[in-house]
Each structure stands twice: as structure tokens, then as C-alpha cells.
Structure 1
Amino acid sequence: MHPRNIYAANSPQFVDLAEYYPALKQFLNKNSSIDFSNYEAVCTLSQALLERDFNLKIDLPVTRLCPRVANRLNYILWIQDLLDSNEPHNDDNVLGLDIGTGASCIYPLLGCRLRNWKFIATDIDPVAISTASQNVLQNNMQYRIAILQTSANSPFFTPSREQNTFDFTMCNPPFYSSVTEMQESQIFKRRPPHSITLASETELVTTGGELEFVSRMLYESVQLAAKNVATKKTWYTSMFGKLESLKEFVQKLRELELDNYVVTEFVQAMTRRWAVAWRFGFDRPAPNLTRPGFNDEGSYVSTALKGLLPPLTGCTIELHSDKTVDQKLSLVHEILLEYEEFMHLVLKSYTLTGTSDQGNVWSRSFRRRKRQKLEHREIKAADTTFRFQISVMGTSTLLIQWIFGSSAVTFESFCGMLKKKIQERNV
């Protein structure tokens, strides 16, 4: 569960919730819980949580998927992390696309309630479109959420505002490639499902299954990035219901030599879901996104994600001197001044930022070329800009973050160089 999920520390107390939302009382059992095999009870629980905790009122047709609130909240909070790892932005101007929003329209509603984003929400199901539109209206969010019906063959990313691009896209795609596959998956599960699922066929089944569905998104996003530079800042994201699908999708990213991506795992009770995000520019996400729990004591990377992780965007170096934080950063600044001819450095507010437009200017190969007195334009190559940020965590740990650049090797080399020089100077 996401650490900021309000249900992470405190599971809903059904008796208290029923006092707030009386419609839930009829479903309470002798254990002061509800029967999760009762679909009406599950839907009423979702409605109660959304109203009490987010001031959202929704209608849910019994023939369509009922969203599990805590699980959906995990995804929205992760999207927040992705956006917040970029340069500062105004939430009022953030535009998201929810592909297959469903009858509940839960992702746009939560996104608008928590961060005041704007959304375009699409679906191919007329019933979902009708109910989602009603849910938007009864929450007075029609000025922030636009509901659009598409078809199974429609491009995913075209319904944008005029001359604008999406800041992010999100999707919880149908899992299965056929009804037969869906039925077989239920047969071979080790234990019966904890909670009942009722849905239309289009919500659960799509040609080729979830892997082909999200792969279509990937190839369409590649085409968009080639045509429109502005889309290179877009975070394209999707959930996966099967770990094998995520593994195969990451392989597709690597075949395209696309290393600017993030993967994560959502664990909610006995349910596990995975998600992937990718983009085409060189702005790099925060270290705790490329390595979940980065530098948190006692944290670990899920076994499921090992082998799927992108290049690391952060590293730490332990400092041993008894100087103040300011003094330690000043000493690091002095070390890097050796390269000030080729590196722009700014030291302020407990943070040191640096930019090199010529890549790894600290390397032997760069010094060799400099000795040979090559012209500046001959040294510089395409896509060589490298930007970093250095700060001190606590009083003794130097944190280096990769902010921008195309080469993970350059970042690794920079960390190695800095660590060696710090050890030599006993900082």
C-alpha cells in the first residue's frame, strides 16, 4: 500500500462507517464486517468510503465494476509522486487522461478532489459513459472532467485539449484475452477470491489481453513523441493485473532502448497489482521512484520487481567529518570547482546543483581531448547535457540525485568520481 494511503495504518471500522453511512448497516454481520461475496455490500462500502473520506457521491450500476477505493487511491498517489518528481507545477493546470474510466469515474474524481487536476476520461461502453457523466455532475466537477466515448479501435491519446498535451495518462486495462482465459484463471487460483467481481465483458476482456492493450499505448506514444516534442514530458502509465505481463512489457521498453521508466507494486490485502510509467524526455524521476523505498531504513525491493527496475537515479555517500551541513556542501563544491570551466555550479539553501553540457567532463577521455586542444564544438556531442543535485540527509549522508540526462553510465561515473575524491579529502 502506498505510504500516504489513508487506509495504510487504519483499516475502515465498519460499525463506525455504518453510523456515518446508514445504508451500510444492513450488510454488517455478527463479526462487525461485511460479506465480500455480496456485491451490493461491496458497492455500498465503496460508496460509503468515498463519501466519508473524500466527499464524493457516486452511483454504481450492478452490471459494472465496483472500484475498491484503497486500491484506486494507491494509483492516484503514485501518479502524484511522478508529477512531483518533476519541476514545480501548478496543479490547476495539470491535465490527465483516464483511458477506460468505467462507470464510477473514480480516478478523475479522486484526482480532482485531492489535487484539483483536470481530466479527460474515455470509455467505449455507453453505460459507463452515461453513469460516469452523472457521477461527474453530482459532484459538480463538470468543469474539470470531460467524459468522451471512444471505440475499441480509436487512438488512445488524441482527445486532448486544443494545442495542449497530457501531463499524464492512466489506465486499468482489461486483464484477459478471452472469456475462456478468464474462466480458466478462476479455476486455477489457489484460493477462492476474497471479494466478488461483477463486470461487463469489455471491462475484463480485450483482444490480446492486457499486454497487447498496453503495448498499443506504448507504440502510439512512440509515434507521438516523434511528432511532438512537448509530449516527451508526458508520463504514460498503466496498471497490470499479471506480473508476467509487466515483465514482457519492460522487455519491450528495453528493446526500444527506453530507460526512462518506473515500475511499482501495489499490495492491498490479498490483492497484488503492478504499474508501469514511461516517458521520452531526459527529466529523471526521483530516486525513490526508480528504487521503491530508496534510502529508507529497513526498506526492500519486492522480489517481483527485481530484474525489472530502471537505472538508479540516486546514490548516497557517507560523510565522516564533524563539520556542519553547510561546510560539508562547501567542501563538495570545492571539489567540483576543478571542473568549473565545463560545469555550471550553484550552491544555495543547503543544496548544490550542477549542469554539464558536455557529459562526463571528469573522465580521462574528456581530459585527453582537452589536452589535444580540440575545439569546444568538437568535444560536445548530442544529448550530452547532465544535471545533478546534491544535498545532505541528516548530518552525515550525501545524497546525489540525477535530475536530467540521457546516460545512466554518466551518472554512475559521476557518483564514483565524487565518492573517490571525498574519501581522498576525508570529508
Structure 2
Amino acid sequence: MAQKKAKRNVKEKTKAKLHPRNKHIGRYDLDALTLSFPELGDFVKENQYGDNSIDFANPDAVKALNKALLLHYYGVKGWDIPDNYLVPPIPGRADYIHNVADLLATSNGGEIPTGKKIKCLDIGVGANCVYPLIGNHEYGWSFIGADIDPVSIASATAIVDANPDLKTRIKFRHQPNHKNIFPGVLEKTERIHLSICNPPFHATFGEAQAAALKKLNNLNKEKVTEVTLNFGGQSKELWCHGGEGKFVKDMIAQSVEFSNSCLWFTTLISNQANLQAAYAQLKQVEAVDVKTLAMGQGNKISRVLAWTFQTPERQQLWFPKTESVIEQP
């Protein structure tokens, strides 16, 4: 039993790498979550350590956990996604939002800018719409959610429709061209403070399927040979030609054209090997400032790459000076 507790404590310490403002540091309070969302109780069982938990290999259990987390911590009602779409890890998504909030503060005299006048673009908002949901609740920001997949746009729209207070804060735009990232969803005359992105990681469908199977086999006691519903994800969510490195390369190249439309461009970089090429490209396009924000969740280490074409003096001009508290919807 002592050995089991020691292993559990290591997991808890690892999760503590999350941002200090992240609501999900430490173990999930399943009792409180079940009180907010009773359906979660159907999936709560005692694990090998003698603690209440859920089976993270069961997509229905993970989806129920997400519904409970979003309702309990962020007030989101009626959250759902279509079958075979990715169920995102809420703690990691929240961590991205909190880290880029600190990033915006570096351009605003050290103060995190809040309220609806702070505008963000979520590239690949997905069917789950999680980044805008968390960003709006935590900081009151407005969001444009862009996606190439019409089903994702429809699903994200349904989530916002189920929460009327969000309708003026979160809007969606369909990207009609799979080769474009910013053109087609952002006008050069628009001004947004932040773009965020969780790019497709894998370079081929087969590579994505192999990774999903590996994840499932790590979660299951018995060998898995087929990707489970909702763990597979849609191809646009998981892979693109050239993988993460090529996607980020295209994003940097296209950001030059929108250098005066967005204050901070950011993207997750899951593969550290892609960083050096990105740094070299950002130097070539003469980005004024480049930052790498470290992130950690569980055993996974990731980072946010951020760049701007605005000088420190110009950065300060992007922020309204009258809005210093989060507006309630």
C-alpha cells in the first residue's frame, strides 16, 4: 500500500507543474464534480490505489468528466461533441490560456488585460470549443473560432447556443482553404491581441492511428488493437502533410502578412525538435520578439511558441486603459 501511495504522490507532484492559476492542480474532486454533474457518478469507481477515479481508457467516462469540469469550474452547460471527435484534456487547455494571459501582461505593464475588448483567434477551434470557453470565463476575452471542418464549426456553435451569455463573446468562421491559416478567417484591417493554436501533430494518418493505439494500450490492462470511439479523432485534428513542423512553418510564413493585425502569434509545440527550425525562420522574417513558454501536464512536457512583430512601445498601444477587471457576461 505504501508503494502504491508513493506512486500516486509522484503523479500528483507531476501534475503540479500546471500553471499556478490553473483550477485543476492536484487530484480531481470527483465528489464535487459529481454533485454538479450527477451523470459522472456512473463512471466513478475505486482504482488500484484505493481512491475514487474513472477509467481514462473509456471515452464515455472521459467525456462525462469533461462535461463535469466545464460545468463545475467554467459554468458551461450542455457541452458535447460528435462521435469520433477528440475529447480534449481540460487541465492542459486551461494551462495554455493562463500562460498566454501572462504573455499579454508583458505587453501591458505587467497587468493581465481582461474583458471583451481583448480579442483572440483560435486556429482550429475544434468541435469542443474548449479554449474560447475557458478564456472567456477566466479573463472575459472575446474569441473568433476558426476551423476547416464544418462539423466542428456546427458543434462549437451548438455549445455556444446552449450558453446564451457567450453568443456575443464567441463567434465562428469557416476556413475554406486547407492551405491557409490566417487568410480567409482574418481581415488585415482587424486587430486581435492573440492567436492560439494546437496544430495537428502527426504527418500521416497511419502515424496518428499508431499513436492513438499506443495511448490506449498504456491506459488499458489488456492489449488494444483498434482505436476506441472518441480517442481516434478526426484526421484534421490529428495529422496534416508534414505534421506539426510543416504546419508551424506555414503559420510563421503567413503571420508576416498579418504582422499588424495580431499582437502575439502563439502555437503549441509538442515536439521540441521543431523549435530550432521555428527559431531560425522567425529570425529570418524579423520577428521583433520571440518567447517560449514552458508547460507541463502529467508526463507530457510541451511549450507555447510566441512571436510578435510589434516593438515594446507599440505593444502598449494595443490595450484599452479603462478596463482592468473581468466583465461578467
Q: TM-score, normalised by structure 2?
A: 0.77
* Alignment CA distance shift 1:239-1:265 (3 Å): same
Query: Is the partner of 2:27 in helix, strand or coil?
Result: coil
Query: Is the partner of 1:133 in helix, strand or coil?
Result: helix
Matched, 1:203 2:221: no
| AA partner of residue 47 (structure 1) | K
Name the counterpart of 2:64. 44
Matched, 1:263 2:292: yes
The correspondence for 2:157, drawn from 133, 136, 140, is: 133
Q: Identity over the aligned pairs, expressed in percent?
A: 30
* Alignment CA distance shift 1:128-1:258 (3 Å): same
Matched, 1:248 2:277: yes
* Alignment CA distance shift 1:117-1:150 (3 Å): same
Larger Rg: 1
Q: How far 1:274 sits from its partner (Å)?
A: 1.9
CA deviations over 1:189-224 (Å, ceiling 9, x no partner): 699444973311111011111111111111111123
Name the counterpart of 2:22. 5
Native 8 Å contact 1:240 1:274 kept in 2: yes
Q: How far 1:264 sits from its partner (Å)?
A: 2.0
Native 8 Å contact 1:118 1:144 kept in 2: yes
The correspondence for 2:185, drawn from 159, 163, 168, is: 159
The correspondence for 2:73, drawn from 46, 53, 57, is: 53
Q: How far 1:48 sits from its partner (Å)?
A: 0.3
Q: How far 1:144 sits from its partner (Å)?
A: 1.3
Query: Is the partner of 1:71 in helix, strand or coil?
Result: helix
* Alignment CA distance shift 1:190-1:202 (3 Å): closer
Name the counterpart of 1:115. 139
* Alignment CA distance shift 1:175-1:90 (3 Å): closer
Native 8 Å contact 2:114 2:140 kept in 1: no
Matched, 1:176 2:202: yes
Name the counterpart of 1:15. 31
Query: Is the partner of 1:212 in helix, strand or coil?
Result: helix
Alignment of 1:375-414 (within 5 A): none
* Alignment CA distance shift 1:183-1:198 (3 Å): closer
Query: Is the partner of 1:198 in helix, strand or coil?
Result: coil
Q: C-alpha separation between the residues in 2 aligned to 1:253 and 1:245?
A: 13
Q: How far 1:243 sits from its partner (Å)?
A: 1.6
Alignment of 1:60-99 (within 5 A): 60-87=81-108, 89=113, 91-99=115-123
Q: C-alpha separation between the residues in 2 aligned to 1:234 and 1:283?
A: 11
CA deviations over 1:265-322 (Å, ceiling 9, x no partner): 22111222221000012218xxxxxxxxxxxxxxxxxxxxxxxxxxxxxxxxxxxxxx
The correspondence for 1:33, drawn from 32, 48, 53, is: 53
| AA partner of residue 268 (structure 1) | Q
* Alignment CA distance shift 1:155-1:100 (3 Å): closer
Alignment of 1:354-373 (within 5 A): none
The correspondence for 2:247, drawn from 213, 216, 234, is: 213
Task: Give structure 1 stretches of 5+ with no counterpart.
Answer: 285-427
Q: C-alpha separation between the residues in 1 aligned to 2:296 and 2:66?
A: 18
Q: C-alpha separation between the residues in 2 aligned to 1:185 and 1:54?
A: 30
| AA partner of residue 146 (structure 1) | K
Q: How far 1:60 sits from its partner (Å)?
A: 1.9
Q: C-alpha separation between the residues in 2 aligned to 1:180 and 1:104?
A: 24
Native 8 Å contact 2:288 2:311 kept in 1: no
Name the counterpart of 2:258. 224
* Alignment CA distance shift 1:16-1:92 (3 Å): closer
* Alignment CA distance shift 1:159-1:191 (3 Å): closer
| AA partner of residue 246 (structure 2) | E
Native 8 Å contact 2:57 2:216 kept in 1: no
Q: How far 1:121 sits from its partner (Å)?
A: 0.6
CA deviations over 1:163-184 (Å, ceiling 9, x no partner): 3211110110110110133245
Higher relative contact order (CA 8 A, sep 6+): 2
Native 8 Å contact 2:120 2:196 kept in 1: yes
Name the counterpart of 1:369. none
| AA partner of residue 127 (structure 2) | A
Name the counterpart of 1:352. none
Provide the aligned C-alpha RMSD in A: 2.6
Query: Is the partner of 1:51 in helix, strand or coil?
Result: helix
The correspondence for 1:238, drawn from 264, 267, 271, is: 267
